[in-house]
Amino acid sequence: MRKSDENLSRIIKQIEEKNRAEKEFLQSVREVYNSLPPFLEQHPEYLDKKILERIAEPERQIMFRVPWQDDSGEVLVNRGYRVEFNSALGPYKGGLRFHPSVNLSIVKFLGFEQIFKNALTGKPIGGGKGGSDFDPKGKSDDEVMRFCQSFMTELYRHLGENRDIPAGDIGVGTREIGFMFGQYKRIVNQYESGMITGKDPEWGGTLVRNEATGYGLIYFVKEMMEEKGEELEGKTVLVSGSGNVAIYAIEKAQQLGANVVACSDSGGVIYDENGINLEVVKQIKEVERGRIKEYKERVDGAEYKDGGNIWEIPCDIALPCATQNELQEEGAHKLAENGCTVVAEGANMPVTLDAIDILHDADIAFGPGKAANAGGVAVSALEMHQNASRDALTFDETESRLVQIMKTIHTNCYETAEEYGTPGNYIHGANIAGFKKVARSMDALGVI
Ligand code: NDP
Ligand code: 2IT
């Protein structure tokens, strides 16, 4: 065993002991740190300076009470979180998730991933994440507004365009960002656009932010395909989920000539061999905030399976775009059996570590989320840029920047994997490239 491997095992063990109950957080730490030995072998100074121990400890964690009243006047209490993980490269940046499953472990895994993802974008942004166990499903607009106002009434003191800039994630879209921005503006009495991203372009947002994660994912997949000497056009694609990331991944995949045959939500899976009719999905999910099973009632020939497993459907490309750990060993075996050649993560950590090993063993190219879904936060950084300069780019200008950013991230991951002896392993490439940048900056800023 190399000395760096021994040190690494000891460090991971310490982190496990310190954060015993946080299984998602520990999963994300193992994924990143297990890629690092070839880099640490060349840079033992980062071990001596305890950079790994320091990165795994958030700079600050905030947990708070969010009391609010529903439409009947009943008082409800949720828990709010913001984990300000790392500000070596810039102010904390990362989304807010509203979902009943949200807990400290989930917020910490998301924040930890965000540090390296944001480093890969090449933009001056640190890593953070937040959210609440509030469930927006089935709530009226007024209830969502009252919740968001209460949430921001506590969180505002920690935010600011140079301090911490949230955005959306599961359960948080333009509606929620609007209510939170409105409450912040009211409290501080300043139109500080750059304190949150994902705003509507009518009130300080930027074009393409809504589409950016899904579009960016497809641009990344296009690069992966070209690297293998293949084309996206004509390929059969599965996209899990039917939220923001899924919808715009389907849109761009279709624009580039791929055939997306399935999507899903937490209720079940839609299969449509003629290709998903995206206008119907948008109507159900974006306008009506309904369930994906309604698609079957509206599109001839479509099939719906309650609680189905989307990864059983034969495909060339599989894009998990819903939530963490949604693609496990069984799904990975199915994809391999059915001849899938590329899997890329639109969601954060949707593929378990064991499933990733199965994909690699089957020679399936695997694009990790911190690289493949970085288009969303990259365009958030462009939104901050536009807010600071009081400028507004056109849709095409912003999209062409997104294309360039995704190409650069792909090249960086690909070349870094090659440089450190694991050609074609995008996980190692992404983790080493992201870590390298954060570690160097932390080192330069001293023991803080
Ligand atoms: P949305 O809330 O818009 O959509 C989430 C989708 O995932 C819905 O279809 C939802 O189904 C499904 N889903 C959520 N939780 C579960 C669950 N526990 N089991 C099964 N399905 C589930 O969120 P986004 O599209 O914004 O986010 C999707 C993923 O992409 C997340 O992992 C997020 O962290 C990641 N991401 C998002 C970015 C962004 O800019 N929005 C940027 C980068 C990554 P249902 O409606 O039934 O709950
Ligand atoms: O996971 C993510 O990168 C996001 N939810 C987007 C974060 C952002 O600040 O735009």
Give residue-wise pLDDT tens across range 325-345: 999 999 999 999 999 999 999
CA 304 – ligand 2 centroid, Å = 30
Ligand closest to the CA atom of residue 129: 2
1, pLDDT greater than 70: no
> In the predicted model, what is the mean pLDDT of residues 49-72?
98
> In the predicted model, what is the mean pLDDT of residues 282-294?
98
Q: Is 339 within a domain? A: yes
Listed residues 191, 223, 251: the one ending a domain = 191
From residue 156, give the alpha-carbon distance in Å to each of 159, 197, 285. Answer: 5, 14, 30
In CATH, what number is assigned to the domain containing residue 309? Answer: 3.40.50.720
Q: Is 416 within a domain? A: no
pLDDT tens, position by position, 222-275: 999 999 999 999 999 999 999 999 999 999 999 999 999 999 999 999 999 999
> In the predicted model, what is the mean pLDDT of residues 379-408?
97
Q: Is 308 within a domain? A: yes
392, pLDDT greater than 70: yes
> In the predicted model, what is the mean pLDDT of residues 183-193?
97
Pocket of ligand 2 (CB under 6 A): 93-95, 114, 117, 167, 169, 197, 348, 376-377, 380
Per the prediction, the chain carries an average pLDDT of 97
- E strands present in 204-360: 236-239, 259-264, 268-271, 303-306, 317-319, 342-344
What are the contacts of 226-235 at 24+ separation with CB within 8 A? Answer: 227/365, 227/410, 227/414, 228/341, 228/342, 228/365, 230/341, 232/256, 232/257, 232/258, 232/317, 233/257, 233/258, 234/258, 234/259, 235/259, 235/316, 235/317
Pocket test for ligand 2, best of 82, 106, 112, 169 (most atoms within 8 A of CB): 169
> In the predicted model, what is the mean pLDDT of residues 56-79?
98
One domain, residues 367 and 218: yes
Listed residues 372, 402, 418: the one ending a domain = 372
> In the predicted model, what is the mean pLDDT of residues 18-22?
96
Is 129 a catalytic site residue? yes
One domain, residues 98 and 185: yes
> In the predicted model, what is the mean pLDDT of residues 92-99?
98
Phi-psi region of 276 (alpha: psi -120 to 50; beta: other; left: phi over 0): beta
pLDDT at res. 6:
83
One domain, residues 149 and 17: no
Tokens matching residue 302: 């479509």
Report the C-alpha gap between 271 and 15 in whole angstroms.
42
Tokens matching residue 357: 């090993």
One domain, residues 168 and 294: no
Listed residues 327, 348, 372: the one ending a domain = 372
Q: Domain containing 32: what range?
A: 3-55
Please tell me the total count of domains within the chain. Answer: 3
One domain, residues 119 and 169: yes
Q: How far, rounded to the nearest angstrom, does the alpha carbon of residue 149 sit from its chain's CA centroid?
A: 25
> In the predicted model, what is the mean pLDDT of residues 364-393?
97
One domain, residues 48 and 66: no
One domain, residues 235 and 337: yes
In CATH, what number is assigned to the domain containing residue 124? Answer: 3.40.50.10860
On whether the CB atoms of residues 182 and 146 are closer than 8 A, the answer is no
CA 173 – ligand 1 centroid, Å = 11
Q: Is 30 within a domain? A: yes
Instruction: Select which of 108, 129, 235, 334 is catalytic.
Output: 129
**Coil/strand/helix, residue 197:** coil
pLDDT at res. 266:
97
pLDDT tens, position by position, 298-318: 999 999 999 989 999 999 999
One domain, residues 328 and 240: yes
One domain, residues 347 and 253: yes
